[in-house]
Amino acid sequence: MAYNLLKGKKGIIFGALDSNSIAWKVAERAYEEGAIFTLTNAPVAMRMGEIQKLAEKTNAHIIPADATVLDDLEKLFIQSMEILGGPIDFVLHSIGMSVNVRKGRPYTDLNYEWLTKGWDVSAVSFHKVLQTAWKLDAIAEWGSVVALTYIAAQRTFPDYNDMAENKAYLESIARSFGYHYGVRKKVRINTISQSPTRTTAGSGVKGFDAFIDYAEKMSPLGNATAEDCADYCITLFSDLTRRVTMQNLYHDGGFSSMGVSQLIMEQFGK
């Protein structure tokens, strides 16, 4: 059901790769709620995905951009404002990558060149996006920026590897830039700490299927799906959350508040 929560709003959505992507679901929901937006991803990621189908479905323009390259980001914001007819009301940062995870390198034996690449893609890119928008004055007053994160930024999940540090840094950027953008333009910046979700990127983590099952049994409401996360993003893009900023918002069915659940106790008591 649609409520026209984003009627008249303009956005940029980073990271839609295929129909399993949270960014893909957000784009679908934003379109249903009346928004217009551009879609972007790194050229190499776009060749792997099906973003053209999403663009056709949502009447969106695609602008290739590497979020780690400042020139690409500047062109992205300038072209988006030209296409959409004004400053941007919302931005979704749904980008994350660890070369160490992809190549099976353990946390105790990291390749630091790979670490730096993953850190740049997963976290520093968020600062680059915000700084570029800041310098271009590209985000409208009371705009909203959301980045996706995970509870491994606060708690230890061994197989999440160096992505834990990436997400911790991402969350810090939201708080730090959230202050400056709030004072300047009333723009709010938040992160959503999502349940483990079956996306192309998430499935690359070792033992992912087992962990999804564990999180499901730990969470009173069960794991939040990609569709659920899209709904939450829409509320943060809307005017209903105008005073929410600099927050790391857990969207995990209650997992983050749990110590142990009855289902887990019963499983280990067998």
Question: Of 31, 150, 232, 250, which one is the catalytic site residue?
Answer: 150
- Type of residue found at 232: Y
What is the rounded CA–CA span in Å between residue 169 and residue 189?
14
Strands of the sheet with 61-62, listed across from one edge: 61-62, 36-40, 10-14, 88-93, 139-149, 188-194, 248-251
Is 3 an active-site residue? Answer: no
Q: How many other CB atoms sit within 10 Å of the CB of residue 210?
A: 10
Amino acid at 215: A
- Answer yes or no: 250 catalytic: no
The reply, when asked if residue 94 is annotated as ligand binding, is no
Please check if 167 is assigned to a binding site.
Answer: yes
Residue 22 labelled as part of a binding site: yes
CB 139 within 8 A of CB 158: no
- End-to-end CA distance of the chain: give it in Å, rounded: 43
Q: Which of 160, 214, 232, 250 is catalytic?
A: 160
- DSSP-derived letter for residue 223 is P
* Binding residue positions for NAD(+): 15, 21-22, 95, 167
- Catalytic residues, by residue number, are 150, 160
